[in-house]
Amino acid sequence: MNSPLDAAVAAALEGRDRAGLLRRRTAWRPTGPVTVERDGREFVNFASNNYLGFTHHPRLLAALRTAVNVGSGAAGLISGHSAVHATAEQAIAEWKSCEAAILLPSGYQANLAVVQTLGAIANNGIEKGGVRFLIDKLAHASLLDAVRLGGHAFRIFPHNGLAKLERLLADAPKEQLQVILTESIFSMDGDAGDLVGLAELKRRHPFVLVVDEAHGSGIYGRHGAGLIDELGVREAVDVTVITLSKALGLAGAAVCGSAGFIQSVENFGRAYIYSTAVPPLTAELATEAVAVCREEPQHRHRVRMLAKRVRGELAAVGLIKFTDQSADSPIIPIVLGEPARALAAAESLRDEGLLVVAVRPPTVPPGTSRLRVTVSAAHTDEQIKQLIAALSLVPSPGTPGEG
């Protein structure tokens, strides 16, 4: 018997396929921090967020072998929160120069919990003017999803468009809590949020500033504490979200802020309250990963040097615009336009033994399908040369071709 669901599923997937946007997972076998294998062939991986090579760091592997507990067995408010979790949260809070931190299973859930908490706080306030979220146009989908799921009022402002943002703040009702959601390093473009500008704006207008530091943590700042730390704007930032799955090489996330706000997440953040606590194993590894960040600065120095080098060489062949000579985030987008063009370029790189993923809508806006190149401190100089040589053969965005 044919189910109505089967017909709906088939139609939805067929539509995606016709548009060149259908996605499928591929089973890769990691063979090292920057290499993967499939069907007996090894590829150099320029698609992961393993910026510091920590997925295979000896100290983390050693901690993995000595860990005792596997699962937490319950939500954090029941019996899932252990001394191991508390130690990890304290280490992360101190690393981020915040009063407290709380672990969650993923960055998506962390952002959801932050928005849920802020919404509940605003609606329980004395004035009860509610909350409005002001979201950078390029902010991660999890932030926008969280606001929409909560049914909150929101406005999207142009990427780093502080002039528009200031007009929105100036016109806001005084009794309404204004919350700005942005990122330190944006996940698809690899550029930085204007955190200094936001800090200056906060001197003129009251608002809550939430910064997702998923792609800045471990790379920037003293001890890898993040771009907020490097720019000296910690006092302007109310809430920070970090993921353990990027530079730290693990899985999970943490929300960092004041002790009062973290307690509020425990009470109002439904994404935290109704989720099983992260495994003690993850918490133990997170403590060690933060320690490695503090004690081994050579990893972040190398990845920033490599990122700058790749940017400069790709700009020389016309694949990217490299106007900011100080830009050194590990995320380097090569915008090619239509999905077919990005897919063809990714396939040609695989033929050369390089894994670079084509990113298409809805992850990025229509007409901006791209190769998203990510570099790691674990890449060798020879692998970087191989990448640049292969990318130099990709038709530049202005060259006629497929798509």
pLDDT digits (tens, 9 = 90+) for 75-115: 999 999 999 999 999 999 999 999 999 999 999 999 999 99
- Per-residue pLDDT, 198: 98
Per the residue annotation, which of 97, 106, 160, 187 is the catalytic one?
Answer: 187
Say whether pLDDT at 69 is over 90: no
Which ranges in 124-194 belong to alpha helices (H)? Answer: 141-149, 162-170
Average of per-residue pLDDT values in the chain: 93
Mean pLDDT of the 282-286 span: 96
Same domain for 332 and 246: no
For residue 51, what is the DSSP state? T
Same domain, 87 and 174: yes
Q: Any idea what the Cα angle at residue 99 is, between residues 131 and 208, rounded to 5°?
A: 20
Which position among 106, 111, 136, 183 bears the catalytic label?
A: 183
User: Is it true that the peptide bond before 362 is cis, omega within 30 degrees of 0?
Assistant: yes
Distance CA(53)–CA(249), nearest Å, equals 7
Boundary of a domain, candidates 234, 269, 295: 295
Please report the pLDDT score of residue 37 as a whole number.
97
Contact, 155 vs 134, CB < 8 A?
yes
pLDDT beyond 90 at 124 = no
Residue 401 has what pLDDT? 36
d(CA 44, CA 3): 43
Alpha helix locations (H) across 160-295? 162-170, 195-202, 227-231, 259-268, 270-273, 280-295
Domain closes at, from 272, 295, 318: 295
- Residue 212 known to be catalytic: yes
Same-domain check for residues 383 and 238: no
Catalytic-role residue among 89, 212, 213, 229: 212
Instruction: Please say if 215 is a catalytic residue.
Output: yes
**Confidence band of 123 (pLDDT split at 50, 70, 90):** confident
**Three-state DSSP class for 298?**
helix
> Which segment of 65-69, 75-79, 87-91, 232-236 scores lowest on mean pLDDT?
65-69
Catalytic residue, chosen from 57, 152, 215, 299, is 215
Candidates 45, 48, 49, 50; catalytic one = 49
Percent of the chain whose predicted confidence (pLDDT) is above 70: 96
Which member of 57, 81, 96, 140 is catalytic? 140
Which residues form the domain of 117? Answer: 58-295
- Which tokens go with 257? 């802020």
Query: Active-site residue among 57, 81, 96, 246?
Result: 246
- The pLDDT tens digits of the residues spanning 154-166 come to 999 999 999 999 9
Q: 226 lies in a domain?
A: yes
Using one digit for the tens of pLDDT, what is the confidence trace for 237-257?
Answer: 999 999 999 999 999 999 999
What CATH number corresponds to the domain at position 41? 3.90.1150.10
Residue 398 included in any domain: no
Judge whether 89 counts as a catalytic residue.
no
* Cβ atoms of residues 286 and 252 within 8 Å: yes
Name the band, by pLDDT with cuts 50, 70 and 90, for residue 385. very high
pLDDT tens digits, 174-209: 889 999 999 999 999 999 999 999 999 999 999 999
The arithmetic mean of pLDDT across residues 222-230, rounded, is 97
User: Does 101 map to a domain?
Assistant: yes
- Report which secondary-structure segment, H or E, holds 306: helix 298-316
- 316 with 245, same domain? no
- Given a cut of 70, is residue 325 above it in pLDDT? no
Place of tokens 């979200």: 241
Q: Would you place residue 319 in the very low, low, confident or very high pLDDT band (cuts 50, 70, 90)?
A: confident
Q: Which two tokens stand for residue 192?
A: 């930085």
159 among known catalytic residues: no
**191 counts as catalytic:** no
In a domain, 369, yes or no: yes
Indicate if 302 and 291 belong to the same structural domain. no
12 falls within a domain: no
Question: 20 lies in a domain?
Answer: no
As a whole number, mean pLDDT of residues 15-27 equals 91
For residues 214 and 346, membership in a common domain is answered with no
- Main-chain phi, psi angles of 218, to 5 degrees: 90, -20
Domain count, the chain: 2
Are both 261 and 124 inside the same structural domain?
yes
Look up 49 and say whether it is catalytic: yes
Residue 326, pLDDT > 70, answer: no
246 is catalytic: yes
Residue 147: which CATH number? 3.40.640.10
Confidence of residue 399 (pLDDT cuts 50, 70, 90): very low
- pLDDT confidence of residue 70: 78
Question: Is residue 133 located within the same domain as residue 236?
Answer: yes
Give the lowest-confidence range in 27-36, 240-249, 312-321, 376-385.
Answer: 312-321
Same domain, 188 and 271: yes
Specify whether 166 is located in the same domain as 259: yes
Sheet bearing 239-243, strands edge to edge:
100-104, 253-257, 239-243, 208-212, 177-183, 131-136, 153-157
